[in-house]
């Protein structure tokens, strides 16, 4: 097993979190010939916890095929996906500022769940884990929401917020994994990588 892994994620936060664990890694990102967004389609009636685990598995298998297609040196491949859920509703990445404001209005004053699934592939073996956290948002004013949306931070983030950024000021309480809410639960990730022999 090489002393490094592939990270199949475009999230700079996941890369930073791996660095926090001192895990050397190379990015294994989709090429222009892959429609990565298509993997994130929600199936009718799909529960958030089922969705996040299914999508993570699909992303991992796509990364395994990508690795083989490119003829890259062997190493474990790590993949993760994060989903924000308000009840049974999945709050994905906002389409635009209006969509981000809608999500933040829905989250205002509410407790919601953040699911992050992690999966690792090494040769023909697979390991997976799930982190579940509860996040309590404070009551937000329309001015706070508008200012946060105008900052651009909600874009590209599930639930239209990043706990490690300005939105930290909105979060009254969390239960679970702070790094899981960021997008890569380090406890579960470390366990999976140990299981895979990294």
> Dmax over Cα atoms in the chain, in whole Å?
52
DSSP 13-27: HHHHHHHHTT--EEE
What DSSP element (H or E) covers 145?
helix 142-150
Helix (H, G, I), strand (E, B) or coil at 173: strand
Residue with tokens 């199949």: 8
81 in catalytic set:
yes
- CA separation for the pair 48, 54 (Å, rounded): 10
| Active-site residue, from 35, 50, 81, 96 | 81
Contact status, residue 178 vs residue 109, Cβ threshold 8 Å: no
How crowded is the C-beta side of 197, counted as CA atoms within 13 Å? 9
Catalytic residue ranges: 81
């Amino acid at each position: 097993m090489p002393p490094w892994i592939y990270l199949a994620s475009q999230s700079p936060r996941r890369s930073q979190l791996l660095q926090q664990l001192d895990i050397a890694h190379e990015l294994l990102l989709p090429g222009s010939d892959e429609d990565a967004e298509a993997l994130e389609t929600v199936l009718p009636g799909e529960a958030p916890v089922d969705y996040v685990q299914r999508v993570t598995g699909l992303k991992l298998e796509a990364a395994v095929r990508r690795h083989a297609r490119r003829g890259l040196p062997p190493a474990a491949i790590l993949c993760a996906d994060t989903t924000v859920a308000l009840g049974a509703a999945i709050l994905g990445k906002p389409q635009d500022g209006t969509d981000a404001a809608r999500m933040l209005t829905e989250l205002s004053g509410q407790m919601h769940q953040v699911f992050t699934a992690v999966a690792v592939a090494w040769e023909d073996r697979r390991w997976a884990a799930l982190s579940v956290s509860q996040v309590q948002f404070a009551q937000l004013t329309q001015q706070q929401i508008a200012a946060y949306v105008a900052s651009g931070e909600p874009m590209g983030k599930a639930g239209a917020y990043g706990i490690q950024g300005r939105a930290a000021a909105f979060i009254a309480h969390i239960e679970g994994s702070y790094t899981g809410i960021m997008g890569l639960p380090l406890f579960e990730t470390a366990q999976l990588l140990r299981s895979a022999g990294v």
